[in-house]
Structure 1
């Protein structure tokens, strides 16, 4: 007989989540998949990272003499890691036609530039859930220094 706690753990991903596992949770693909690894998941929080390489397409033009990761992509990376957490919190794996979509962002602050060679640590923690809408407090940091903070809102959609 399977206990309730064993049922709950059946859909939890094994950590660390590698890129193949992440692709099972996110529909994004190159060049827009911005989460390289997930290293920690709790009932309401997640930690992952994005390795920022000089080979990134967005760094070729933002800015060529001093490549900086665009802030909107940092916010997108936070939304992507939050989307993974949405599925894990609901104890389901994605199915065709079921997505967590980026619905909004509030209180965004950029505090440090993210450049080629940085490992961007992405943290997201649930602060509100209501009728398929989830709000997360998110932080992106490099070497322990906060680069970006934001409240990310995602919506569970069945297409």
Structure 2
């Protein structure tokens, strides 16, 4: 499969995710096998209202999502099977990049709270055809709060559309 490299100015140009589900605020770096991103926790995120009232903690599931969205950015930037790529039209792209197919070894070792910034460091370990294997570390102020491993796949976009 031939891959095309893409460079964009905004996170939204790499990912189909949009607020309030877009986890990545900033891309710090992208290379062939690594990406670093950030997410600042404002305290206004809808999911913090009930997690937990009076003691808001950024959910572990959202840390997982931050790691997979970051990996999706790397795939869109470096391993994109489409020469033309547009995340602003949901029906433009032939392929959906970075569909989560497996999570393993997720370990949570701390918390993230409003006013803090999460830094995601995601490494591509291996890829074969349409399957990508990653490991990730998420830190707050240099302290690791989560580690995980997961796989993403590139699939035909038609598989994601609702069937009539």
> Shorter-normalised TM-score: what interval?
0.7 to 0.9
Q: TM-score, normalised by structure 1?
A: 0.85
Name the count of aligned residue pairs.
146
2-side partners of 1:24 and 1:121: how far apart? Answer: 20
1:89: how far off? 2.0
Q: What does residue range 122-137 of structure 1 map to in structure 2 within 5 Å?
A: 122-137=120-135
Contact 2:5 2:79 survives alignment (8 Å): no
Aligned-partner SS, 2:53: coil
Over the aligned positions, Cα root-mean-square deviation in angstroms equals 1.8
Unaligned runs of at least 5 residues, structure 2: 87-92, 158-164
2-side partners of 1:94 and 1:120: how far apart? Answer: 28
1-side partners of 2:85 and 2:28: how far apart? Answer: 19
Contact 1:108 1:149 survives alignment (8 Å): yes
- 1:36 equivalent among 25, 38, 46: 25
**Which residue number corresponds to residue 77 of structure 2?**
88
Unaligned runs of at least 5 residues, structure 1: 1-7
Q: TM-score, normalised by structure 2?
A: 0.83
2-side partners of 1:102 and 1:152: how far apart? Answer: 8
User: Which has a greater percent of helix?
Assistant: 1
Aligned-partner SS, 2:144: strand
Pair 1:98-2:95 in alignment: yes
List 4+ stretches of structure 1 deviating above 4 A: none
Q: What does residue range 111-150 of structure 1 map to in structure 2 within 5 Å?
A: 111-150=109-148
Q: Which digits, 9 at most, give the CA deviation of each residue in 1:60-115, with x for residues without a partner?
A: 11001100011011001100000110122225563524222111211100001111
